[in-house]
Amino acid sequence: MRILAVTACPTGIAHTYMAAEAIEEAAKKKGYEIKVETRGSVGVENELTSEDIAAADAIILACDTSVPMDRFSGKKLVSVGVSDALKDANKLIEDALKAPIYKASGNDLVDDVAGIKAKRKDESKGAYKHLMNGVSFMIPFVVAGGIAIALSFMFGYDAFQQEGTLAAYLMNIGGGAGFALMIPVLAGYIAYSIADRPGLAVGMIGGSVAVQLNAGFLGAIVAGFMAGYVVNLIKKYIKLPKTLQGIMPVLIIPVFGSLIVGLSFFYIIGTPVAAINTAMNNFLTGMSGTNAVLLGLIIGLMMAFDMGGPVNKAAYAFGTGTLVAGTGSAIMAAVMGAGMVPPLGLALATFIFKDKFTLAEKEAGKAAAVLGASFITEGAIPFAAADPLRVIPSIMAGAAVTGALSMAFNATLSVPHGGLFVFFAVENVAMYIVAILAGTAVTAILTGMLKKKIEV
Amino acid sequence: MLINEELIVIPVQQKTKEGVIEELAEVALSVGRIADKAQYVAAVLKREEEYSTAVGFHVAIPHGKTDAVTEPFLMYGRVEKVDWNALDGEPVDHVFMIGVPEKEAGSTHLQILAKLSRRLMKEEFRSELTEATNAQAIIDVLKKNELL
């Protein structure tokens, strides 16, 4: 038997750990495998992974505070207060094994998608994981900033130059605050992923230096990785006597880390990185005609290929990178449009070709339409998983059509996420919609032609 | 240091839960671990109201997280069968009282408290505590269990 448990209490000083110990002891006596996640004042320790949960026979929650529950959907689960675990951990384990299956609210497809996303997050490793950690923390800043800027532009493109107007304030919120923070946040959370909390300050300061040197998105990535590894080196090689260890995270690491990263930027790497960044931006913004269409096509293929996996995320990260300039990006528009097509196309296919899908798939089609409209490419995964050889080529073709058309029409987007809900931030939105509809139709028709009839 | 001999009281004179907390807090005040006794005691009692910190096995671990704490501390008090509304209904013999500042940056002392909490669940650790008759002996038990 494999048992998992989560313990947490409001102060998180004692009972969290006593309950953990009690459950661990009781499980060991029974000869069961046990892992306990403690959510105390020290933070989350011994966190349960998707693999742990998948392999578990039952879950025990001994918590007096709320803890993330969705991850336990589909498992036997018993939820009690911390004190119950102290009173009788033995009985608690028996109860858990007899407990009903926990079902997270929300419909199945959305759950599946969330599960797949969580699993991928656990699996991602190394540099990619650090980069994605940075990107995921950065996105809210870009979305908030980008939408504020887009709202400002609705008063006219130069309305913000008029001081004291709403348009100017919106621009200050979006450009002056949101976009100004996003590069330091990206660098900071890359470093955080590498070196944990001490990395954050050094990374954010490094990112700010990169901004000052016009090294942009690329500079932030370099600064973030450098900060993370520099902090790790400081932790490893600077050894202080025990009584002084307290000053490591508040004094030694931030000061020396920031100086090392900052000065390396000013004296050594800042200039070349800035040059590369500028060249890249010029190349991308200057690209037009056949090249642009080809790029859109490749972006489309990448977005659909693994539906939210590393290839998709690489294209996506590339798209967000082109946003840093602060104006609309044709590449970002192509990325979002192409990313919306796979679930949308499959949803349309379930609607048109009713005899090619199971009842469950037809139901899932409705959810996929919503996911697609919200630019959650992962919505296509359940269909692709069931029939990859027919579905994946169909969605790649549709997404490629949308990517290429979006670039050809020169639609631009100034925010990195939101799907249908950020269409007001799209320039040339009519043709953009045409591009998305065309791709959706291609995917739907190809899927319908390739898939076999369901035997009744 | 989270705990030292000055923070060990054997035996505690008071016979009630509130009395024991007051008496221990007075000691914490006298050695400068808290700045405001009333505020600290209020925080501890408020925590007790949520549910008793007497976790069974004759042990209670009252704790307060408040600005009144100037330096994190752990206290040990030997009491005699004090009623603490324990989960198992038994009276309390050992009191570990904890104080943590509201804005505590480091986590070292929290790690130690987490470890203490886990140790309390072990029969052996509890009997070693019971056998210790003076402050030095308590310190030795804590050292032996890697809590110091």
Domain ranges of chain A: 2-105, 116-277, 289-450
Strand, helix or coil for residue A35? strand
From CA A185, how far away is CA A208, in angstroms rounded?
9
Nearest to A11 among B56, B65, B87 (CB): B65
What radius of gyration do chain A's Cα atoms show?
25
**Omega of the bond leading into B11 within 30 degrees of 0 (cis):** yes
> Residue A405's pLDDT is what?
94
Q: What percent of chain B has pLDDT over 70?
A: 95
Whether A40 sits inside 8 A of B87 (CB atoms) is no
Q: Would you state the structure tokens that stand for residue A241, as one six-digit string?
A: 């006597």
* ipTM for this prediction: 0.74
Domains of chain B are 5-144 (3.40.930.10)
Closest CA to B60 of A88, A18, A92: A18
* CA A387 to chain CA centroid, nearest Å: 26
Alpha-carbon distance B47 to nearest alpha carbon in chain A (angstroms): 8
Closest CA to A25 of A96, A98, A86: A86
- For residues A130 and A193, the answer to whether their CB atoms sit within 8 Å is yes
pLDDT of residue B134: 92
- What 3-state DSSP class applies to A264? helix
Q: Are residues A15 and B55, on separate chains, in Cβ contact within 8 Å?
A: yes
Across B87-98, average pLDDT:
87
Pairing of strands B59-60, A77-80: unpaired
A20 contact residues in B (CB cutoff 8 A): 118
Residue among B63, B105, B116 whose CB faces A11 most closely: B63
- Checking if the pLDDT of B21 tops 90, the result is yes
Tokens of A70: 């969705």
Q: Measured between beta carbons, which residues in chain A are less than 8 angstroms from residue B50?
A: 10, 64
Instruction: Round to whole Å and give the CA distance between A159 and A128.
Output: 40
Confirm or reject contact between B86 and chain A (CB < 8 A): no
Whether B94 is catalytic is: no
Name residues whose C-beta falls within 8 Å of residue A245's C-beta, 6 or more positions apart in sequence: none
- How many Cβ pairs closer than 8 A exist between chain A and B? 71
Dist CA A425 CA A413 (whole Å)? 6
Q: Estimate the share of chain A in helix, then strand, then coil, as percent rounded to the nearest 5.
A: 70, 10, 20
Give the number of other CB atoms < 10 A from CB of residue B136: 11
User: pLDDT at position A106, please?
Assistant: 47
Reduce the DSSP state of residue A254 to 3 states and report it.
Answer: helix
Q: Parallel, antiparallel, or unpaired: how do β-strands A77-80 and A412-413 relate?
A: unpaired
Asked if residue A160 lies in contact with residue A171, where contact means CB atoms within 8 angstroms, the answer is yes
Instruction: At A218, list the tokens.
Output: 């690329």
Q: What is the pLDDT of residue A376?
A: 84
φ and ψ of A347, to 5 deg: -60, -45
| Sign of the four-CA dihedral B5, B11, B13, B18 | positive
The answer to whether the CB of A133 falls within 8 A of the CB of A194 is: no
Taking the Cβ of residue A20 and every Cβ of chain B, the question of whether any pair is shorter than 8 Å is answered with: yes
Nearest-CA neighbor of B74 among B107, B97, B44?
A: B97
Rounded average pLDDT per 10-residue block, chain A, 456 residues: 88 80 89 90 82 90 82 87 84 89 65 65 69 81 78 75 88 85 91 91 95 83 94 88 80 94 93 83 71 90 85 82 73 94 95 86 86 87 83 94 94 86 87 95 94 74
Asked if A202 and A227 touch (Cβ cutoff 8 Å), the reply is: yes
The closest of A393, A273, A388, A398 to A337, measured between CA atoms, is A398
Structure confidence by residue, pLDDT tens digits, B63-84: 888 889 998 899 999 999 999 9
Rounded Cα gap, residues A55 and A152, in angstroms: 51
Q: Is the dihedral of CA A325, A328, A334, A338 positive or negative?
A: positive
The tokens for A153 are 């532009």
Asked if A205 contacts A258 with a C-beta cutoff of 8 angstroms, the reply is yes
| Alpha-carbon distance B103 to nearest alpha carbon in chain A (angstroms) | 12
Rounded Cα gap, residues A226 and A415, in angstroms = 28
Q: Would you state the pLDDT for residue A304?
A: 93
Single out the residue of A77, A73, A66 nearest to residue A109, CA to CA: A73
Place of tokens 């949520």: B50
For chain B, say whether A21 makes contact (Cβ under 8 Å).
Answer: yes
Q: CB contact, 8 Å: A25 with chain B?
A: yes
Which residues 3-42 of B have a C-beta within 8 angstroms of A? none
Architecture of domain A2-105: 3-Layer(aba) Sandwich (3.40)
What is the number of other CB atoms lying within 10 angstroms of the CB of residue A248?
A: 17
DSSP state, A288?
A: -
Of A4, A73, A6, give the one whose Cα is nearest residue A38: A6
Residues ≥6 apart with Cβ < 8 Å to B33 = B7, B69, B70, B71, B73, B99
C-alpha separations of A106 from A68, A362, A420 in Å: 15, 17, 21
Task: Tell me the three state secondary structure of residue A60.
Answer: strand
* Cross-chain Cβ contact B53/A42 below 8 Å: no
Contact between B61 and A11 using a beta-carbon 8 Å cutoff: no
- Substitution target from A13, A240, A242, A248 for chain B, most B beta carbons within 10 A: A13
E strands, A332-382, are none
Helix then strand count (H, E) for chain A reads: 20, 7
Cα–Cα distance measured from residue A356 to residue A379, given in angstroms and rounded to the nearest whole number: 18
> Which one of A18, A25, A250 has the shortest CB-CB distance to B117?
A18
* Secondary structure in 3-state letters for chain B: CCCCHHHEECCCCCCCHHHHHHHHHHHHHHCCCECCHHHHHHHHHHHHHHCCCEEECCEECCEEECCCECCCEEEEEEEEEECCCCCCCCCEEEEEEEEECCCCCCCHHHHHHHHHHHHHCCHHHHHHHHHCCCHHHHHHHHHHCCCC
The CA distances from residue A225 to A181, A190, A310, A341, in Å, are 18, 6, 19, 33
Looking at beta carbons, which residues of chain A come within 8 Å of B88? 87
